[in-house]
Structure 1
Amino acid sequence: MITSKKICHFTSPHPRYDTRIFRKECSSLADQGYRVDLIVADGEAEESVDKIHIHGIKAPKNKLVRVFITPFRILRKAIQLNADLYHFHDPELIIIGLILRLKGKKVIYDIHEDLPRQLFVQKHKSKFKRKTMEFFLEKFENFGAKRFSALITATPHIGKRFRKLNDNTWVINNFPILNELAAQKEDYSSKKNEVCYVGGILRVRGIIEMVQALEFGDTKLNICGEFPNSGLKEETMELAGWNNVIDHGFSSREKVGEVMSRSLAGLVLFQAYPNHINSQPNKLFEYMSASLPVIMSNFEYWKEITDKYACGISVDPENPIEVAEAIKKIKNNPKEAKQMGENARKAVEEVYNWSIEKKKLLALYAKLLDE
């Protein structure tokens, strides 16, 4: 398909090669023949990669600048590009989306997270503060959601909330690209005595419990990701289990694939915050796509996946001993673990993959641009 239609994606906090925005959505649209521009606030030079034209505007110095000044820098560039359809990814850009709507443009709001239930709201100890923030954030987001040409949500749970506000709401799950991290064909018994965690390293994503679990065995933990600050890293390094950590730091997709291929299992141990319980972490499905058994938090939705596909073990994410026992079970039962990994891969091939979600994305674009 060849088209003269121009598409503009824009984001303020995400990196230019973000997996969902760049590798999945923008790449799928460019492959379909659309002219795709991507605006990112990273201060880097303009470039064209895989038929996607990336525009780097000035990087914000702090969060206040990102929220109150960067959006208008993005708006200036977005207006210059004069696209047929705009697609943005962050709640702080709702105002910019509304301005573009007032200019007669078609605008999609891509909702990755349930904003009022996010950690920065839930961490407040005062119930009054939490409820007040939830109320105003939800009212603000709902006001914008009703006025956009379409909404995309990254999970069915978020989709339920927004379908009440906008009939043109589409759930486009953040499932993995099918063969990006596919495991090499090798004997499962040749894997190393290692497990892995891939992604942002946060206390609420279970880094402390993961490392504590290593104290109860001899299995090593590969970590592919960055600590948000030196304080958390220093605290984690003081744990006895750190001696069994292999810290790769920020890793390329190729490195992630290599680490997964040699690991016995993948860990995803989010703690029970409201925004986690109904989430669909990309790393969960990436582990599955790499034929890895998954040791995951025992949230009801996640547990439904392990029960249905027999692809992993559910544990209390705040209980390091339970995590350690799950690792030992995987290690000591290679035949069963291999079957779990094969079940996981099959589930991704049949259900949890980007090629299925891509069709929905292209159908939405065709609908909006034909109107």
Structure 2
Amino acid sequence: MKKVCVITSIHSPFDGRIYHKQCKSLKRAGYDVVLIAPEPEVMESNDIPLITFKRPTSIKQRIMVIYRMYNLAKKTNADIYHFHDPELMIVGFMIETFLKKPVIYDIHEHYPNTIMGRDYIPSAIKIPMKMAYICVEKLALLKISGVIYTTDEIGKRYGRYNGCKIENYPLKEMFPARKREKDPNQLIYLGGITKIRGVLELVEGFSLALKEKPNARLLFLGSFESEAFEQEVHNQIAQKGIGENVSFISRVPYEQISSYVDQSAIGILPYLPYPNHLVALPNKLFEYMAANNAIIASDFPHYARVITDSNGGMVINPEDPKDIAAKITQLLSIPEETRELGKNARKAFENKYNWSCEEKKLLGFYRSLLQR
């Protein structure tokens, strides 16, 4: 039995992509899997051995944890290593160099674009930080055996390397086919509540839609990026006088997400056109599809391709609250057509946009690396 060591320095050990999809798929395929990850806030039942450590809370701590990650990984004596965070590139390089074991770098985002889009990074150091990342990545990839990435747009950076495109599609078992009465007036926003994801524009647009559809409700399921932004959003809601129509639920265990999405008729993804959003494809889009939600999403080309392919929704200009309001009002005004869009989205999820399709690619990539 081949042993796999999966490593993350910042994600929860029960992360949907890392734990519930990749680790469990590898275990079902007969691999002995161990996961190195930060201590969780709440321990969940698990069937994957965990090695945990105190979560780093600053960029400095994220860098300092590198040497410890290498030692923890070395002790597992695995046959193949799979890491998920950019600061672990050095760990991957060390494993390939000193342990002579194959290593996979799992790239979740277009990190140079991500750096440029982070408001908390001072503008003066964004470009130097971006260039430093690119240089370190090029050096690390001279040694690292394989790269996993999402979307063709992100994959363009890795054409010269041994790569595999694996999307973060939802699990079929998490969204079983079932007939549940939806709330025709409820929209859901799923994921981190941040400024660059268009939350302020969404609240403004929703307040405009309420003038024609006063029974509409908007549910946010996720955590705020900061206390300051949380206060800003609540101030906006209070100023608009729409507090009774907007509700918030903080982070819930991964397995419970579907129960909230299932209740809603419309899923909304109003991300602003920041560099990383223009190339990455958020899993929330496909979770809406899996839950029979009609979709309202930003008019980025790669979002539009999915929506057009599935005939499961419509696109918006995320920077225009009036356009957001118009699309919300349109879908709430035609519940029969909204249900039909949701059915179309669900059908596309069942046939194409689900994890079982991606699992085969993951296992095939592992086999190719271990055979080499």
Question: What TM-score, normalized to structure 2?
Answer: 0.91
Partner residue in 1 for 2:186? 194
Partner residue in 1 for 2:222? 225
Q: How does 1:311-350 map to 2 (within 5 A)?
A: 311-350=312-351
Corresponding residue to 2:167 among 151, 154, 173 = 173
Partner residue in 1 for 2:289? 288
Q: Mark the CA change 1:329 to 1:47 in structure 2 (over 3 Å): closer, same or farther.
A: closer
Corresponding residue to 2:73 among 65, 75, 78 = 78
Partner residue in 2 for 1:366? 367
Partner residue in 2 for 1:161? 157
Q: Does the 8 Å CA contact 1:264/1:330 hold for their aligned counterparts?
A: no
How far did residue 252 of structure 1 move?
A: 2.8
CA deviation profile, 1:229-249 (whole Å, cap 9, x unmatched): 111111100112444211111
Q: Does the 8 Å CA contact 2:187/2:217 hold for their aligned counterparts?
A: yes
Question: What TM-score, normalized to structure 1?
Answer: 0.92
Q: Mark the CA change 1:255 to 1:102 in structure 2 (over 3 Å): closer, same or farther.
A: closer
How far did residue 155 of structure 1 move?
A: 2.0
Partner residue in 2 for 1:256? 257
Q: How does 1:233-248 map to 2 (within 5 A)?
A: 233-239=230-236, 240=240, 241-248=242-249
Corresponding residue to 1:138 among 124, 130, 134 = 134
Q: Mark the CA change 1:233 to 1:122 in structure 2 (over 3 Å): closer, same or farther.
A: closer
Q: How does 1:300-311 map to 2 (within 5 A)?
A: 300-311=301-312
Q: Mark the CA change 1:117 to 1:367 in structure 2 (over 3 Å): closer, same or farther.
A: same
Aligned-partner SS, 1:257: helix
Aligned-partner SS, 1:9: strand
Corresponding residue to 1:32 among 9, 14, 29 = 29
How far did residue 182 of structure 1 move?
A: 4.2
- Residue 89, structure 1, aligned to residue 99, structure 2: no
AA aligned opposite 1:86: Y
AA aligned opposite 2:87: E
CA deviation profile, 1:334-365 (whole Å, cap 9, x unmatched): 11111111111111112111101000100111
How far did residue 134 of structure 1 move?
A: 2.8
Partner residue in 2 for 1:106? 102
Computed over aligned residues only, the root mean square deviation of the Cα atoms, in angstroms, reads 2.1
Q: Does the 8 Å CA contact 1:57/1:73 hold for their aligned counterparts?
A: no
CA deviation profile, 1:182-234 (whole Å, cap 9, x unmatched): 463145xx524110011111100111112222212121111111112111111
Q: Does the 8 Å CA contact 1:41/1:70 hold for their aligned counterparts?
A: no
Worse-matched range after superposition: 204-213 or 28-37? 204-213
- Residue 208, structure 1, aligned to residue 200, structure 2: yes
- Residue 185, structure 1, aligned to residue 179, structure 2: yes
State the distance in 1 between where 2:43 and 2:194 align: 31
Q: Mark the CA change 1:204 to 1:46 in structure 2 (over 3 Å): closer, same or farther.
A: closer
Aligned-partner SS, 1:113: coil
Q: Mark the CA change 1:48 to 1:105 in structure 2 (over 3 Å): closer, same or farther.
A: farther
State the distance in 2 between where 1:147 and 1:354 align: 29
State the distance in 2 between where 1:260 and 1:121 align: 28
Q: Mark the CA change 1:289 to 1:22 in structure 2 (over 3 Å): closer, same or farther.
A: same
Q: Mark the CA change 1:75 to 1:25 in structure 2 (over 3 Å): closer, same or farther.
A: same
Q: Mark the CA change 1:163 to 1:242 in structure 2 (over 3 Å): closer, same or farther.
A: farther
Identical-residue share of aligned pairs (%) = 35
- Structure 1: state its 5+ residue gaps: none
AA aligned opposite 1:286: E
State the distance in 2 between where 1:90 and 1:272 align: 23
Larger RCO (CA within 8 A; separation ≥ 6): 2
Aligned-partner SS, 1:238: helix
Q: Does the 8 Å CA contact 1:11/1:39 hold for their aligned counterparts?
A: yes
